[in-house]
Amino acid sequence: MCAQTPGTKTNCCNDVVCPEDDPPVCGSDGVTYPNTCDLSFASCNNPERNITLVSDGACPGQPVSQIPQVAA
């Protein structure tokens, strides 16, 4: 998902388009993501937050977040 060339910053997930029909998942940041792809996208673009998968399905009491899709 991420690529880094020597002497440059990491370029993460900029050309990923996530499927819309996968089930939601709960991230370690307490956010419900539409699917694991969107969680990975958020984690990759926010490395300081170290977001990981906590469980399948929505986080308790949290709606599914709206992750902007990046067109291919």
Neighbours of 51 (CB within 10 A): 21
Residue type, 47: P
**Model pLDDT for residues 1-58, shown as the tens digit of each residue:** 455 555 555 555 666 778 888 999 999 999 999 999 899 888 888 889 999 999 999 9
Residue 2 has a pLDDT of: 53
66 pLDDT more than 90: no
Pick 71 or 28 by higher pLDDT. 28
Residue 28 has a pLDDT of: 95
Domain ranges of the chain: 30-67
Residue 11 has a pLDDT of: 56
Q: How far, CA to CA in Å, does 61 sit from each of 26, 34, 43?
A: 11, 15, 21
Pick 55 or 72 by higher pLDDT. 55
Structure tokens at 50: 């170290």
Residue environment code for 5-26, b if the CB has 16+ CB neighbours within 10 A, otherwise e: eeeeeeebbeeeebeeeeebbb
**Distance spanning both ends of the chain, measured CA to CA:** 14
